[in-house]
Chain A
Amino acid sequence: MTVKEALYTYVVRIADDSLILGQRLAEWCGHGPILEEDIALTNISLDLIGQATNLFQYAVTLEDNGRTEDQLAFLRVDREYSNLLLVEQPNKDFGYTIARQFYFDAFRKLFFEALTNSEDTQLAAIAEKSLKETKYHLKHSSEWIIRLGDGTEESHQRIQEAVNFHWRFTHELFFQNEVDKTLIELGIGLDLATLFDDWKNYVSNVLQQATLELPSHSFKLEGGRTGMHSEHLGYLLAEMQYMQRAFPNLTW
């Protein structure tokens, strides 16, 4: 694997996480529990899709075979997407959506913070830009974890269930393979293992404030990074890609 190939894969991973979670959050548009949350979730969705755009634009310059960022975003099949299983999980209810977002934001903030020191200047620039937005996202999801956990008996029980459910996907946040190894040696990529303690401390701390239990089960699922997805991704892509599949090269 050349450095360029590794970097391409790395950039697309980050982009796919942003794109797929952005699409999931966009499903809340018009369905938020209150108007302010409807707007908040779609704002976060917009930030994520914006990040994905920057990353896909960079990825196509690395690929350099004429493919555009839109083709990369909309015209791959499910096995070619490398997003985490976590981000493709259905919204289900507001609690599930917040729990998924909380685990992800806590990771993303640490990830982008560290990535601003990348030897790759474009990746560092995207991280610097995205970090500012991610801090707002993390504050939003953390505060909701606390409100719901420390809220009513019903909200406490339901957010605990959502936190427990998504726990099985958090292991994959720290997935690494030869792509990472190649880039870590060059100071381009991060050793994700170095983020784990800070991530777990942050998550534990917020859950404690929320009077929630840190999940203790060790059941883990992974596969998204290597294209082995849950059934949910296919349905998401069918909706997201519909216009481009039905009307190829359609533009607004």
Chain B
Amino acid sequence: MVTTELIWKLLDQVADPEIPVLTIADLGIVRTVEIIDNKCIVTITPTYSGCPAMHQIEEEILKALSPTITTEVKSTLSPAWTTDWMSEKGKEKLREYGIAPPENEVDKSVLFAKPTVVPCPKCNSKNTRMVSQFGSTACKAHYQCNQCLEPFDYFKCLR
């Protein structure tokens, strides 16, 4: 008998293709897992509308679960994903990987507002600057540390 607990455990092995240190469970994009008539339905939600990783994530989920149970992956847009759903464990893994995890601050309405203070993931200095609101992927902004000079990605807070 396959339980949802087992499915969640298997899903915890599925890595995000862009940020392989994070599992999709860490990211909080798996919304629900249901087992109906020996079939598993996994509902996921995209981080950003245009996130090109979503297709691959779907395939990875199927690959991870298919040996155990017939699986269908569904996608839902509402409620919209927010970085608040990222696990604490996930945030810690991001930092170790060199990406600053989302701070509890959205910086997008006041023009020329001081950007969010993001500590450097390498040296922990708060003396950093935002280079660009838009980074290497839709979910990241580009920062640089003024202390150790390391350029780094910041996983933008999305709410």
Contact = CB atoms under 8 A, between A and B. Distances in A.
Contacts of B52: 46
B109 A139 contact: yes
B50 A129 contact: no
Given A53-B50, A142-B111, A206-B111, A128 B134 contact: no
Contacts of B111: 139, 142-143, 146, 206, 209
B59 to A, nearest CB: 13
Contacts of A44: 134
B17 interface: no
Contacts of B78: 121, 124-125, 128-129
Give the interface SS of chain B, mostly helix, strand, loop or mixed. loop
A51 interface: yes
Interface residues of A, number: 33
A40 interface: yes
Given A129-B80, A143-B111, A40 B132 contact: yes
Interface in B47-106: 48-52, 76-81
Interface in B107-145: 108-109, 111-112, 131-136, 138, 142
B49 A133 contact: yes
Nearest to B77: A125
Interface in B12-59: 46, 48-52
Contact of B80 (A37, A40, A132, A136): A132
A118 to B, nearest CB: 11
B133 A136 contact: yes
A128 B79 contact: yes
Contact of B133 (A49, A122, A140): A140
B48 A50 contact: yes
Given A36-B132, A132-B80, A146 B112 contact: yes
Given A50-B51, A51-B49, A126 B77 contact: yes
A47 B49 contact: yes
B158 interface: yes
7 closest A-B pairs by CB: A50-B50, A50-B49, A125-B78, A40-B134, A36-B132, A46-B50, A125-B77
Interface of B: 46, 48-52, 76-81, 108-109, 111-112, 131-136, 138, 142, 158-159
